[in-house]
Structure 1
Amino acid sequence: MASDTENTSIVGISSSWGWPIGGALGGALGAAAFGLLMWIFDPDVLASAIPAIYGLEPIGVVGWGIHIAHGIVLGLVFGFLVTRGPILGIVATSAETDALSRTGIAFRVVAAGFVFGLAIWAILPVLVLPVWVEAIGAQAAADFPAAAVESMLGHLLFGLVLGIVFAATIDLGDRPAQSPFEE
């Protein structure tokens, strides 16, 4: 069985400190794309609801700043997770199907970003946000469309942009994906 070090060297990101840069940049750009989508559907979410989650007044670009900061933190979490053995092993594993076996590691990282965006939507705005809003009693934050289709689409867009930027930023190598279970 291959070790975690061997798994990461398969895709060229072993001991690379590029993942925080790729994660932060991808998270910021993903949050900006998501923010633009939110602004199109309901600009008050960025202006009022996001600052209200923290008990802040909706002044200027506070909502945008908080939203971008959230994206950077989540991008760093994504970068950390996707470069670690368990998830990297899945991303780098040779697939048994013809369609998946033809995909490269970059495509799989983008797909991981998409799945990450979906997971973030299912966890943060759908499960955590309602509890948080009730705990702090913020009325403006209660108007946040947690389970709305727009929220889900925005989080999927965030994850997709995050995955694309991360894959473009990190040296993934030109080698095809290999099984982490090969000796």
Structure 2
Amino acid sequence: MIIVRIVGGLGNQMFQYAAARALAITNNCPLKLDLEWFKTPGSRPYMLDRFNIHADVATLNEIVAYTGKFKDPLKKTCWLLSRPLSRKKVFREPGFEFTGKFAGQPPNTYLKGNWQSPRYFNHIRDILLEEFSIQEKISPSTAAIANDIHSRQAVSLHIRRGDYVNPGRDKSYPLPPGQFRTSGIPASGS
């Protein structure tokens, strides 16, 4: 079994699922999701359940068996002592760059990271395109907007407002220069 820790907004959730799904397919084993982060007050909502994904939710016991996050000190000590004999392992993403060590992870691995390189999951792209299809039918008003978009040359501009206005933002994601942000506007034709 592969367990992946799911955190963050929808984009992060999709990357984490995609990488873990690829590893589960490679190892021919089930995939489970650790959704404990979403129990934290103020966390973003879990949104992968809107798609046709193929994963179950990991139980707290399954998660703890990998991570050792026991509240009881005796259980934690027993877990630490038995850890060298365990076939269960935690694989943490070492940084923001792709790591070739990912593909060699065995079944019985708990994944912790963002996994934002397509190199983790490009080989199952077609599967992911199917699984990231929305479960619910869209409303007639939304369908009309979608048809309008498809009938013309359309451009979408996404600005992560929080990245610009939040003084405590994560500085490991540098802001692109102003020229970069405005250079796409002429391409929109307006």
Determine if the TM-score, normalized by the shorter chain, exceeds 0.5. Answer: no
Q: More strand per residue: 1 or 2? A: 2
Higher relative contact order (CA 8 A, sep 6+): 1
More helix by share: 1
